[in-house]
Amino acid sequence: MKKILGTTLTLLGLTVFGQAKEDSIQFAKISTEILNKGKAYNELRELTKNIGHRLSGSASYEKAVTWAEQKLRDAGADKVWLQEVMVPVWVRGKESLQIKTSGGKWKSLKMLSLGNSEGTGGKDVSGEIIMVRSMEEYDKLSPEQVKDKIVFFNYPFSQTYIETFRGYGDAAKYRSTAASLTAKKGGKFAIIRSLSSAFDDVPHTGSMRYQDDKKIPAVAVGSTTADELAELLKSQKITAKLNSNCGMKGEKLSHSVIGEITGKKDKSVIVVGGHLDSWDVGEGAHDDGSGIVQSIEVLRTFKNLGIQNNHTIRVVCFANEENGVKGGVMYGKTVKENNEKHLFAIETDAGGFTPRGISLEMDNEKRKQIQSWADLFLPYGVYDFKNTYSGTDLYPLHDLGIPTAELVPDSQRYFDIHHTEEDTFEKVNRRELLLGASTLTQIIYMIDKNW
């Protein structure tokens, strides 16, 4: 196809070299503009420090909506609007987890209830802890062994995978299913070892899901607490006591924020986006404040460099990725209903770390075409086009047959801080954040030009 044509032209000594050179010059312009004049880092400071974390349904999320609207206008969007969507309202409230050995005193543990979990309704719920190291171990337990117990799923995050998203994927089922599995055998609540690549005492929240109506609580503890608990359980019985107010409090009208620059040739759409909501701890800096400010930077860069976009470049700041994906689903639904042609959609929701690649979820022909541009990206440290997943918010678009993608930043540090108090602005490096924005702008420039 394109590539063969290119090769042929090269053999003929024709203009393909000029073409590649033109693209290469444009790539350098984009990178130079963003590294020197990018505003993403300062905007991230505003979002994280002035607004902070912003769970769906919270007042701070609504502040973030107003903020994002303004930032899209400032960046030069031709059109900015809010897309209505009903989101779940989950509230943490007060929570405490204590343990005691027989004859010992109660000792508080650092913990976080898992997102979407029901609490104890403000009452103490206690029982003896039994620990399992894996699903296989849990499956062997009889209901008699689990009845009235607290099940502690102490499954460690695998350090072996090079891409930490694989370690996360491997452990994710413990977070999502621990409560329902425990309830099925009559346990009182579940404790999980956090999905964390770090060896520290930072608990990680994140969404869980009930499989039925037996809604018992699930909480997470940090790696060192998990290790200490395991050590104690070797020699003695431990009682745990949970008291928490968390729970789902219905739904609320909320919004995704959308801004675009209109296509000069046609109105077909190229989407770049991240999610505006975050968990209710830390500042949602890497997850996914970074993705929001990077996406806005793409739009600003097209405007500032005066790049004539053939197609509409649209930034979508999705609502409610963390505990419902209602924003992503609503966006997909609207695209379908309006029969709105989309060429390509890319999400950035893997942290504001130094970019290494782009993951491509699309047919083989389109993937190969993008891979044929790899040499243009290589000078920017972006070499990895092998992955075939895309962002959570984009699955509804993928289901409509739209080619989707995700920025692949370096993953080593992400799961140290993901969904924790530690996901703060200070953990984001300015140049790394801006380089990610540059990669996004470059791929969108190529798609806009060639598709």
Choosing from 17, 81, 106, 199, the residue that interacts with its own copies (CB under 8 A) is 199
Q: Where are the alpha helices (DSSP H) in 50-142?
A: 59-75, 135-139
Residue 430 makes contact with its own copies by CB under 8 A: yes
Handedness of CA 72, 78, 80, 83 (dihedral sign): negative
Residue 224 makes contact with its own copies by CB under 8 A: no
CB of 436 to its own copies, least distance (A): 11
Residue 104 makes contact with its own copies by CB under 8 A: no
Which one of the spans 97-105, 196-204, 262-270, 307-315 is the region binding its own copies (CB under 8 A)? 196-204
- Between CA 301 and CA 38 the distance in angstroms is 8
Choosing from 159, 235, 338, 339, the residue that interacts with its own copies (CB under 8 A) is 159
Binding track over 296-335 against its own copies, x by CB under 8 A: ----------------------------------------
Tokens of 28: 């350098």
Q: Output 56 or 164, the one with its CB closest to its own copies.
A: 164
Choosing from 22, 93, 383, 450, the residue that interacts with its own copies (CB under 8 A) is 383
Q: Output 382 or 447, the one with its CB closest to its own copies.
A: 382
Chain centroid, CA 128 distance in Å: 35
- Between CA 179 and CA 387 the distance in angstroms is 32
Choosing from 251, 412, 449, 451, the residue that interacts with its own copies (CB under 8 A) is 412
Q: Where are the alpha helices (DSSP H) in 93-195?
A: 135-139, 143-146, 164-184
Choosing from 298, 432, 447, 448, the residue that interacts with its own copies (CB under 8 A) is 432
375 in the Ramachandran plot: left (φ > 0), alpha (ψ -120 to 50) or beta?
A: alpha
Q: Which residues contact 7 (CB under 8 A, 6 or more apart)?
A: none
Residue 356 makes contact with its own copies by CB under 8 A: yes
Whether the CB-CB separation of 399 and 342 falls below 8 Å is answered with no
Q: Which residues contact 19 (CB under 8 A, 6 or more apart)?
A: none
- Partnered with residue 317 across adjacent β-strands are 257, 274
Q: Output 106 or 199, the one with its CB closest to its own copies.
A: 199
Residue 374 makes contact with its own copies by CB under 8 A: no
Residues that bind its own copies (CB under 8 A): 31-32, 35-36, 159-160, 162, 164, 197-199, 354, 356, 379-381, 383-384, 410, 412-413, 416, 429-432, 435
